[in-house]
Structure 1
Amino acid sequence: MQQRTRTLTPVLSQLVTAAEERLRITGVVLKASRDTAPGGEFTVEDVRYRRTGKQGRDPGPAAVFITIADKQGPRFNAVRDEDNAFWLWAAIEVLRRTGVRIEELLELTHLSLRQYRSPTGEMIPLLQISPSKTDRERVIPATPELVAVLARILRRVKTAEEGKVPLVIRYDNHERIFGPPLPHLFQTEFQHRLQVISPPQIRKQLSRLAASAGMVDVDGTPLRFTPHDFRRIFATETVNGGLPIHIAAKLLGHLDLNTTQGYVAVYPQDVIHHYRSYIDQRRAGRPAEEYREPSDTEWNDFRDHFSLRKVALGTCERPYGTPCEHEHACVRCPMLRMDPAQLPRLVQIETNTNERLKEAHHMQWLGEVSALQEGLRHIADKKRQAERLQQLIDEPDGPTTLN
């Protein structure tokens, strides 16, 4: 779950942008379709639509059917499309700004909006969450952004005649009972009657939005959001932002701090920050001359070291600042990286060594015999290395350069 939170958090803004854009487009399409007579066509964002139906027939304010003129697709209800876009946007905004559960979101009513007057006289808006999973009520201070979202929801659900939120009965899928009539915020008209939006509707719309937005992981795997993902992201962002974890537990309605800790994803930057602090502390105890600007002589030595790496048979890869420990016997040195182009030179050295070995055998220079035989063994190793590098270069699908 923590890995999932780390994956989804960076793309949350992409999902929010997609929801806002969908709400904007569906609103423009709905307005244009209402302004168009049945059978007429209109264009929005370079897409041509056709309003279906016949002149003189009014399906009512709950339905305006249109099709995409350039495609032979089914017709759809522009009113329902805009309504779904609005409630999906509202659900995302409330979920990500409060961390409430999906059941708690859909149980919000007009009575859930409260105000608290602080001792300084400041009015603080509050969101009262009804008892749900832990059977314990809690109150969440509402940010200005959340207040703006809730105000927009209220404007949408209030009736034009009385200016009140209609009372709706909600069916509880967990308790399997119908609740009392309440002014639920997440209510909409469906099949000619008002009803509270169900959790499966929110989940299905979230999946469709993520798919239409083209949200994928770094390996190309499609990403999807669930309502509970916003709760985990909310917990992670608040705690990593400096909010004490016991306060975050109160906001989330957790009875155990370990539960809240399980919701919080530890990001690599936390480890990097603490490790860099550790390095800074270690550096503070080191001599100051180690961190001074290098002199011209030191820069020249550094440059000359790399120019001295080039030898007849290839490149010497010994670490910077270290002397040659093999008295420049490059054939025997494991730090020599052979240049495949120098393979003929290596064969010539092998031929000369074999001639010297014959002479040493003839003269009974047994020490020289042993040294030359060891040299031939290293030459054979270097030949295999050069041939392997040359084979990599010659392969059609292999690397064209070797660093």
Structure 2
Amino acid sequence: MLLQILIACGLRLKDARWLPLDCVSRDNDGAPYLLWINRKMQRQAFFPISEALADAIGEQQQRTRDRFPHGCPWLFPAHQANLDGSTPMSDTYWRAHSERWLTDLNLTDETSTPVRVTAHQFRHTLGTRLINANVPHHIVQQLLDHMSPEMTAVYAKIHNKTVRRHWESAVKINADAQPVTLDGDHPLADASWTRLSLVRAKVTLPNGYCGAPVQTDCEYANPCLDCRFFITTPDFLAQHRRHRADTQTAITDAEHAGLVRIAEKNRRTLSRLDAIITALDAPPVAGGRPQEAADAAS
């Protein structure tokens, strides 16, 4: 139960161990919140939780009440030397329990080395996931009850590094199915990544990214396979395949209706989509380029 709270709410281990028995509050709409004490800053804080977690906490509350019918202030009371329920779960007990759990799971990394997971890693994971989900920084700061925006900014830096690493390693092609490369060792690599981040945020496309300079105005609000700034990756293969199926249907309908020019226009789109899908389906290699392009460059 304590592990569920760590994962869902990102509490520090001490704050989770010292949760009060009555730690679930509800607002006027009936939405549940975890009431916890930030002992690092000695203040009360709240974290919105799911009904499922609220129910699970309710079951833990009942177990504690059954064990201590005369009252206990803690959601997780100590299991030993705690006859009156006045002592919360100890740090040593939790760590020993966690180690046994990891051993039973036989959790290992890609080299078959046992993985050690600390309670604080769940806090970092939650913070990073919130940033990845585009939750505003000030909201993340409030949810994790950080003392300053700088503490929350750590997760944004982790997110940026992760996105950049994924982008640099991914296969990237343009509308002509030609590789688009970003040399990480180039003196302008950081500046180039910043530019790409800005233009990616500038125009949201369902099947790729707009690589146009930030100052460039585009008369179209939708992706254009004839645009020299268009960039796409394997993340958008499903969209390209759907686009291809729709285009093939449009060609068939146009041919049946005798609309020769419309059919021909869609055939050009179909040809581009076939090239893009083929290039994105090619096995990736170092540098994020299709195999054929890497062979040609060698």
Short-chain TM bin:
0.5 to 0.7
> Is 1:94 aligned to residue 2 of structure 2?
no
> Is 1:133 aligned to residue 40 of structure 2?
yes
Any conservation in 1 of the 2:9–2:126 contact (CA below 8 Å)? yes
The SS at the match of 1:127 is strand
Shift of 1:245: 1.8
Correspondence for 2:15 = 104
Q: How many residues align?
A: 188
> Is 1:231 aligned to residue 231 of structure 2?
no
Instruction: Give, as a single letter, the amino acid of the residue that structure 2 aligns with 1:92.
Output: L
Distance 1:214 1:139 in 2: 34
Distance 1:250 1:161 in 2: 34
Structure 1 residues 94 and 291: alpha-carbon distance in aligned structure 2, compared to 1, 3 A threshold: same
Larger radius of gyration: 1
Any conservation in 1 of the 2:79–2:89 contact (CA below 8 Å)? no
Deviations 1:11-70 (A, max 9, x none): xxxxxxxxxxxxxxxxxxxxxxxxxxxxxxxxxxxxxxxxxxxxxxxxxxxxxxxxxxxx
Distance 2:268 2:92 in 1: 63
The SS at the match of 2:209 is helix
Correspondence for 1:244 = 136
Correspondence for 2:94 = 202
The SS at the match of 1:126 is strand
The SS at the match of 1:211 is helix
Q: How does 1:299-378 map to 2 (within 5 A)?
A: none
1:159 to 66, 76, 101: 66
Identical residues among aligned pairs (%): 19
Distance 2:97 2:67 in 1: 28
Shift of 1:191: 4.0
Correspondence for 1:293 = 271
Correspondence for 1:277 = 209
> Is 1:218 aligned to residue 196 of structure 2?
no
Any conservation in 2 of the 1:215–1:223 contact (CA below 8 Å)? yes
**TM-score, normalised on structure 1?**
0.41
Q: Which one has the bigger strand percentage? A: 1
Instruction: Give, as a single letter, the amino acid of the residue that structure 2 aligns with 1:100.
Output: L
Any conservation in 2 of the 1:127–1:139 contact (CA below 8 Å)? yes
Shift of 1:258: 2.2
Q: How does 1:11-50 map to 2 (within 5 A)?
A: none
Distance 1:225 1:148 in 2: 26
Distance 1:111 1:102 in 2: 18
Deviations 1:88-142 (A, max 9, x none): xx1110111111111111121124322221xxxx212222221311233221122
Shift of 1:291: 5.6
Distance 1:256 1:223 in 2: 31
Structure 1 residues 319 and 116: alpha-carbon distance in aligned structure 2, compared to 1, 3 A threshold: closer
Correspondence for 1:186 = 76
Any conservation in 2 of the 1:101–1:227 contact (CA below 8 Å)? yes
> Is 1:147 aligned to residue 54 of structure 2?
yes
**TM-score, normalised on structure 2?**
0.54
Instruction: Give, as a single letter, the amino acid of the residue that structure 2 aligns with 1:187.
Output: P
Distance 1:149 1:102 in 2: 18
The SS at the match of 2:27 is strand
Distance 1:108 1:263 in 2: 25
Distance 1:113 1:242 in 2: 27
Correspondence for 1:116 = 27
Structural RMSD (CA)? 3.4
Any conservation in 2 of the 1:206–1:224 contact (CA below 8 Å)? no
Any conservation in 2 of the 1:211–1:224 contact (CA below 8 Å)? no
Structure 1 residues 141 and 236: alpha-carbon distance in aligned structure 2, compared to 1, 3 A threshold: same
Of the two structures, which has the highest relative contact order with CA contacts closer than 8 Å and spacing of 6 or more? 2
Any conservation in 1 of the 2:19–2:76 contact (CA below 8 Å)? yes
Instruction: Give, as a single letter, the amino acid of the residue that structure 1 aligns with 2:37.
Output: S
Distance 2:100 2:17 in 1: 20
Deviations 1:279-299 (A, max 9, x none): 6968541499986528xxxxx
Structure 1 residues 186 and 160: alpha-carbon distance in aligned structure 2, compared to 1, 3 A threshold: closer
Any conservation in 2 of the 1:97–1:234 contact (CA below 8 Å)? yes
Structure 1 residues 123 and 155: alpha-carbon distance in aligned structure 2, compared to 1, 3 A threshold: same
Any conservation in 1 of the 2:20–2:36 contact (CA below 8 Å)? no
Any conservation in 2 of the 1:112–1:129 contact (CA below 8 Å)? yes
Structure 1 residues 144 and 199: alpha-carbon distance in aligned structure 2, compared to 1, 3 A threshold: same
Correspondence for 1:262 = 154
Any conservation in 2 of the 1:140–1:251 contact (CA below 8 Å)? yes
